[in-house]
Amino acid sequence: MGVHFVAGLRMLVGCEIASVSSIARHVDSALPPPDNLCSLFQLENGCAGVFLFAVNSKSPKILWRVDGTKGAVQVERSVDHGKHGYMVSFCSEKGEFTKTFHPFCGVNEELKAFVRDISNASTGAIADYKPEPRYLYIEGARDVAVLEAMLESSSKQGSTVQVKNF
């Protein structure tokens, strides 16, 4: 459940998630458990945020929100004029509010980057070629560590759990 959305959260916030307090539930027997997760998280820099993943309802919701000293940003899976994507809302410290929609087309860009990395690494076309950092195994392990901490917290009735560092 949700490891790709945890990866999106980590990319959005730009620093590591230090701890989480979560509640996970299994509501829809047609889906594997859990199908709902609500988590408060604290970043290493002290900012706090919310991660919500509810896929069992008639109106599924996937949402990230981070509040910091210079404002708040919220990213929510959405549909606009029939296109799937993300609605990004930002409120500055001065109270200025912006909202923009970014279409989502699946994994096309990720596959392009993967093929480019494999091609460049195998042909040696570019000396000292460095692959896209988000595709390193360690990043996947960090994504899973956040999700594991969220599920562990839920099993402890929402107690705060530290995320494993790699």
Q: What is the pLDDT of residue 107?
A: 75
Contact call for residues 39 and 54 (beta carbons, < 8 A):
no
For residue 5, what pLDDT band results from cuts at 50, 70 and 90? confident
Q: Look at domain 3-66+105-123+131-161 and name its CATH class.
A: alpha beta
As beta bridge partners, residue 48 has 42, 67
Taking the C-alpha atoms of residue 142 and residue 129, their distance in angstroms, rounded to an integer, is 23
For the chain, what are the domain ranges?
3-66+105-123+131-161
Bin 148: left if φ > 0, else alpha if -120 < ψ < 50, else beta: alpha
* pTM across the whole model: 0.79
The position carrying tokens 């000293």 is 69
As a whole number, the mean pLDDT across the chain is 88
E-assigned strands of the chain? 17-25, 36-43, 48-54, 61-68, 71-80, 83-92, 97-103, 161-162
- Cα-to-chain-centroid distance, residue 43: 13
Q: What is the pLDDT of residue 144?
A: 96
Q: What is the pLDDT of residue 124?
A: 67
